[in-house]
Structure 1
C-alpha cells in the first residue's frame, strides 16, 4: 500500500488501463559490445526518443538462457519493449529485440548485423523529434513465414509510436522501410519531403537519412499461440459496441432509422371535441328537422 501521494500516483500510472500508454523501450548494452552495436543502440534510441530509456553501463546478460534480469529491468523501469546489444566471436554484432507481457518475456528475436550506416554518416537534414513514423513492409516472408510474421508484429510494436486517429499530411516526415528478401532483412530510414506539384496533391520525394541496417535472423524465442492470443485480448469495456440502426455518412453526419408498425387511423385516439364527434344517422335526422323548423 502506498504511504505517500507520490507513491500512490506512481502505482496508478502502472495500473492496468482500458487505453494503454505509449509503449516504452529499454536499450541495454551487453558485457562485451562493439562500436557498431553501441552506435546502433544510440541510433534506435534516437528514433524512439521520449519513449525510451538507454542504459550506458554494461550489463552481462544471457537473454536466451535466463530472462530474470530482463524481467527485473522491465518491471523496475515500467517498459514493455527492449533491445539488447552484444558482440562475440560466435555471434558478431548481435542484437536481440523483444517485448514483455505482464513483465514476463513474450517474444525474442536475435538479429545479426552485416552492414550498418549510422545517422551521422548521412550529412543532411533530419526529421522533427517526436514525429510518428510511417512503417512500410515489403517481401513475401512477412506474409508467409511464421517467424517473419512475428518479427513484423514486433517491429510494428517497437517503432509505431503513439496511437492516433488522424495524421496531418505535413506531419508525415519520417518513413521506415523493411524489406525481407533472400534470407535477409533490410532496414532503411527516409525523410519524406513534400514539394509543389501544381495541384492539391503534393509531389513526394524520399531522402535517406539513416540508420541503415542489413540484418540476418539468428535465433528466435516465440510465445505459444494461446499465450500470444491472451496478450492480444482486449477488455469488454474498451470494445466499441455497434448501435443498431445508427450509421454515419462520409461527412460524419449521424443517421438513425426507426422501425414502426403500420398505423390504423380509424382507431387513433383523438381529443373528444364536439366538432370532431361522429354523428349517427338519427342525430343527423334530428338536426335536419330542427333546422327545417327554424327556417
Structure 2
C-alpha cells in the first residue's frame, strides 16, 4: 500500500516486443489522447495480451476511462514475477521492489516473513522462494487476490497482527509492512487512476501519512524474533519521522535509499 503510481514504474513493467503497424499506431494515438504517458508501451501490452479484437476493444475503453492497466490485463510484473492483480486491489509499484531487496538480504533459509497490509500479496510472492511467507490484509478483496498469488492457507483476513495465528508470535524474522503513507491532504492531488480506482484506505495514511506505521511499530516487537526486523516503505520527506517512530517502539532504525527506483525503506531491527 502507499504512494501514488509513478509513470516510470509502470513503463518498466510494460515493454513487450512486437512489430509496429498501423493498428498499433492508431491504438497508441488513442491512448495518448486519453492522457496515457507511455501510450506506445501500453498499446503493445494490450494487443499482446488480448485474446481477440473484441476483448481488445473493451480493454481499450476501460483504459481510456481511467482503469489501471494492470487490473485490465490482470497482472503486474513485480520483482521478476507476474502477480495477479484484481480490480479494487492496490497495484504493486516498482519502487516497492527496493523493500523486497532489503528483506532478501536479511533472511536465511527457514526464515519466517510476514507481508502485512499485503494487498495483492506481491511482496510475499517475491519472498516465497527464500522464506516461509504469511500475509494479511483488512480488505476481503485484497485477501482473495493474495490467495491467488500465495498459498491460500497462509493468507489471513483481519486488522494488522490480529489477523495472524498466535503461534507466529515471537517467531517472525521479517515483517514487510507496505502501509499507506500518503498524507490525507495529498490524496486529492494523486493521479486519477489511483485516487478513483484504488481503495482510499490503501493510499491515505492520515494527517502526516504515518498513522498505520505507528500502529505497526507499536505492535511488532511482540511478534519478531530477538533478531527480527520491521521494514516499511515511505517517502524521503517522511523517512526521519518513520525512523523516530521505530526508535520510540524499541527498534534500532536505519534508512535505506534506492536511487534507481526513487525508493526509501526504513528498517527497524529488534534489539533483543
Higher strand share: 1
TM-score (norm 2): 0.26
Largest Rg, 1 or 2 = 1
Higher helix share: 2
TM-score (norm 1): 0.25
